[in-house]
Structure 1
Amino acid sequence: MMNSMIITIIIMLFILVQVPGGDCFVQSRATYYPNSDDRGTEIGSCGFGAFGATINGGDVTAASNLYRDGVGCGACYQVRCTDAAYCSDKGVTAVITDSGASDRTDFILSRGAFGRMANTKWSAQCLLSQGVVDIQYQRVPCSYPNKNMIFKIHEKSSNPHYLALAIWYQQGLKDITALLICEIQNFKCKLMDRAYGAVWATTSPPCGALQIRMLLSGNDEDAEETWVVALNNIPENWKAGEEYDSGVQIN
């Protein structure tokens, strides 16, 4: 009898391992941007600018609750519609680049991303004609092969008085919850504030070449926090609008 129970438990554990995240999907609704092309918007509230319309091949989304006052910017979600007649099992992976809600939806997808939930091109047209569809979603790791995280200096920055930046191409499942900027020469550091969305800013930044340290946090209260240090520094003569390769990536 005991052996039979042990075998049953092992089988159940095996099944659970074989179906990772099977119970992680959340039921909701999604719609899409009314613009005429397949991309997202270039004026999204995450502060990514034109990059926010083209990242991830244009498969981007605005979110309501998942925006989380900007913490959710750059997070990736698998979104799939639920009508088996039109929808694929895989759905689409979309990146949050904006905030917004419409008719009890959690996602306002780019037109292209909305259509890519379908199982055929004809089905995509049917979904688009509906405008709003029932969906399931779950958070998934972002993936940007052969890309390091990029520090994009905001256009309103002014060296040496004001520094604002956004982080592009963040992989993985972690959120960036704090940013520390340090002067290399004497290691004078300063915490940056989240100005809005994915944009971090500070007045009177440290002088000289700058090192960026990022605090990563998981999705729940018990998740471990980790500091990640950029391998490449932001040069002393940094300029508004420039992009600097961090030399690191998160997996």
Structure 2
Amino acid sequence: MTEKSLTTYLQDKKAKGQKLFIPYIVAGGSGLERLEEEIQMLADSGATAIELGIPFSDPVADGPIIQKSAQQAFAHQVTFAKIVAMLQKINAPVPIILMGYANSFLRFGFERLLKELESTDVKGLIIPDIPYEHQELILPALDQTDIALVQLVTLMSKKERIEQLVKGAQGFIYAVTVNGTTGVNQTYRESLDKHLADITELSEIPVLAGFGVSERAHVERFNTCCDGVIVGSKIVDSLARKGVKETGKLVLNLTGNAG
């Protein structure tokens, strides 16, 4: 299997000593007509890549902020098909990673989706409710594409399990930092830093910490023990309440690029 471009892209950033920053937003949470502007803002503010969440009615990992944004997307009549059609028109400055639940992908049709994504900048998928043991449902089709399937590692994962998950993994490792749903104001356990460092030591590809990362202090903390962070709810909330310009300032602050 040929190495995915998302893997080599992130590995190159890491090799140059850069810490990775991947923001998450709900596609169409502010209306699809604003998606291109939001993607450009995130890239201009220092995003290494961008996660786009597919709105879903019954999420299991998303907290109230992201749930609310998904409901707003539905109010804007956003669908998976409309998101893909919009991405076919957008020239994204950084790789795009689609994050959604298995039901959304299966209902759209996986073969159809991969065909329609060929003309987009989507380079990765995150499907949190497809466990490692069932990834063969989609990996054979992905092998024929340049789209990586990103693995998640939780706090409950023991060393043997982590070794299994990181072996042959693509893109990056999504290291979940809490037992629960996404959201701000999370309390992190004291052993988290060692857990992240252990995953990073075992993984041949970059490891990013996500869930609850919402302050510059969180970013600085996790950058010391893994390769970067994923920030979602904080950015989604800012887009909903303050708009694109102010959210750009927030992201600049989180990435340490604020002047």
TM range (shorter): under 0.3
Higher relative contact order, structure no. (Cα contacts within 8 Å, ≥ 6 residues apart): 2
Considering fraction of residues, name the structure with more helix. Answer: 2
Structure of larger gyration radius:
1
Superposition TM-score, scaled by structure 1 size: 0.27
Considering fraction of residues, name the structure with more strand. Answer: 1
